[in-house]
Chains A and B, each alone.
Chain A
Amino acid sequence: MKQLFAFIKKEFYHVFRDWKTSLLLFGLPVIQIVLFGFALSNEVKNTKIVVCDYAKDAGSQRIIQMLEISNNFEIEKAVMDEKAIEKTFKEGKIKLALLIPAHFSEDLTHLNKAQIRIIADASDPNLATTLTNYVTSIIMGYQKELIGNMTIPLQINPEIRMLYNPELKGATNFVPGVMALVLLLVCVLMTSVSIVKEKEMGTMEVLLVSPLHPFRVIIAKALPYLVLSIINLSVIILLSVTLLGLQINGSLLLLFGISILFILCALSIGLLISNITQSQQIAMLISLLGMLLPTLLLTGFMFPVENMPIALQWISNIVPSKWYYIMIKSIMIKGLGFSAIWKETLILFGMTCFLFFMSIKKFKIRLA
Chain B
Amino acid sequence: MKTLRHLLVKEFKQIFRNKMMLLIIFVAPVLQLLILPLAADFEIKNINIAIVDHDHSPISRQLRSKIEFSNYFKLVSVSDSYAYGLHQIEKDKADLILEIPRGFEANLYRENKQSLFLAVNAINGVKAGVGGGYLSRIITDFNREIQSKSGFNSRNSSIPTIEISSTNWFNSNLDYQTFMVPGILVLLVTMIGAYMCTLNIVKEKEVGTIEQINVTPIKKYQFILGKLIPFWIIGMVVFSVGLFVVARLIYGIIPVGSLFILYAFLGLYLIAVIGIGLLLSTVANNQQQAMSLAFFFMMIFILMGGLFTTIDSMPNWAQWISKFNPVTYFIDVNRMVMMKGSGFADLKYHFLKMLGFAIFFNVWAVLNYRKRV
When the two chains form their complex, are residues A329 and B123 in contact, meaning their CB atoms are under 8 A apart? yes
In the bound complex, do residue A38 and residue B162 qualify as a contact, i.e. CB atoms below 8 Å apart?
A: no
CB-based contact B114/A157 at 8 Å = yes
A215 at interface, CB cutoff 8 A: no
Q: Give the bracket for the number of chain B residues in contact with chain A.
A: 35 or more
CA distance A297 to B33 in the complex (A): 13
Contact of B162 among A23, A139, A293, A340 (CB under 8 A): A139
A18, A31, A114: the one contacting B163 at CB < 8 Å is A114
- Contact: B313 with A45, CB < 8 Å? yes
Assess the B142–A156 pair: CB atoms within 8 A.
yes
- Is there a chain A Cβ closer than 8 Å to B284's Cβ? yes
Complex Cα–Cα for A306 and B203 (A)? 42
- How distant is the Cα of A197 from the Cα of B300 in the complex, in angstroms? 26
Q: Does B209 contact A (CB under 8 A)?
A: no
Do the beta carbons of A143 and B346 come within 8 Å of each other?
A: no
**Segment at the B interface, from A217-225, A262-270, A281-289:** A281-289
B363 close to A (CB within 8 Å): no
What residues of chain A have their CB less than 8 Å away from a CB belonging to chain B? 18, 20-21, 23-25, 27-28, 31-32, 35, 38-48, 86, 89-92, 95, 108-109, 112-129, 132-133, 136, 139-140, 142-143, 146-147, 150-166, 168-170, 172-173, 185, 189-190, 193-194, 197, 200-201, 280-282, 284-285, 288-289, 293, 297-298, 302-304, 306-309, 312, 326, 329-330, 333-334, 336, 340
Cα of A113 to Cα of B167 in the assembled complex, Å:
20
CA distance A284 to B104 in the complex (A): 61
A104 to B39 alpha-carbon distance, docked (Å): 44
Type the 1/0 row for B126-165, where 1 means its CB is closer than 8 Å to any CB of A.
1111001101100100110011001010100011111111
- Do A92 and B346 touch across chains, with their CB atoms under 8 A apart? yes
With A119-B166, A127-B310 as known contacts, state yes or no: A150 contacts B159, CB within 8 Å. yes
Evaluate contact between A18 and B289: CB separation under 8 angstroms: yes
Asked if A120 contacts B167 (CB within 8 A), the reply is yes
Asked whether A308 lies within 8 Å of B38 as measured between CB atoms, the reply is yes
Does B136 lie within 8 Å of A284, measured CB to CB?
Answer: no
Known: A92-B336, A122-B168. A108 touches B162 (CB 8 A): yes
Question: Which among A28, A118, A172, A194 is the interface contact of B125 at CB below 8 angstroms?
Answer: A172
Say yes or no: A44-B313 contact (C-beta < 8 A), given A23-B293, A115-B165. yes
- A sample of 21 inter-chain contacts (CB < 8 A) reads A18-B288, A24-B292, A24-B295, A39-B303, A42-B309, A48-B312, A86-B169, A90-B340, A92-B336, A115-B163, A115-B165, A122-B172, A126-B176, A154-B147, A172-B125, A173-B123, A193-B288, A280-B287, A284-B199, A289-B28, A298-B39
A46 adjacent to B341 (CB under 8 Å): no
Closest to A100 in B: B162
Contact present for B174 and A23 (CB under 8 Å): no
**Cβ–Cβ contact B313 & A132, under 8 A:** no
Q: Are A147 and B125 in contact (CB under 8 A)?
A: no
A42 (CB) vs chain B CBs: closest residue: B126
CB nearest to B104 among chain A residues: A156
| Pair A91/B346 contact, Cβ less than 8 Å | yes
Task: State whether B293 touches A20 (Cβ < 8 A).
Answer: yes
Q: How far is the CB of B73 from the nearest CB of chain A, in Å?
A: 12
Which of B105-113, B240-248, B268-276, B354-362 sits within the interface? B105-113
B41 adjacent to A193 (CB under 8 Å): no
Complex Cα distance A263/B307, Å? Answer: 30
Q: In the docked arrangement, what's the CA distance between A304 and B44, Å? A: 8
B28: chain A residues within 8 A (beta carbon): 285, 289
Contact, CB under 8 Å: A38 / B174? no
* A280 to B108 alpha-carbon distance, docked (Å): 70
Q: What residues of B have a CB within 8 angstroms of the CB of A285 in the complex?
A: 24, 28
The 7 closest A-B pairs by CB, nearest first: A168-B125, A122-B168, A24-B292, A162-B122, A39-B318, A125-B174, A118-B166
Residues on A with beta carbons closer than 8 Å to the beta carbon of B150? 153-154
Q: In whole angstroms, what is the CA distance A331 to B126 when docked?
A: 21
In chain B, what residue has the closest Cβ to A193? B288
Q: Which of B38, B164, B318 contacts A38 (CB 8 A)?
A: B318
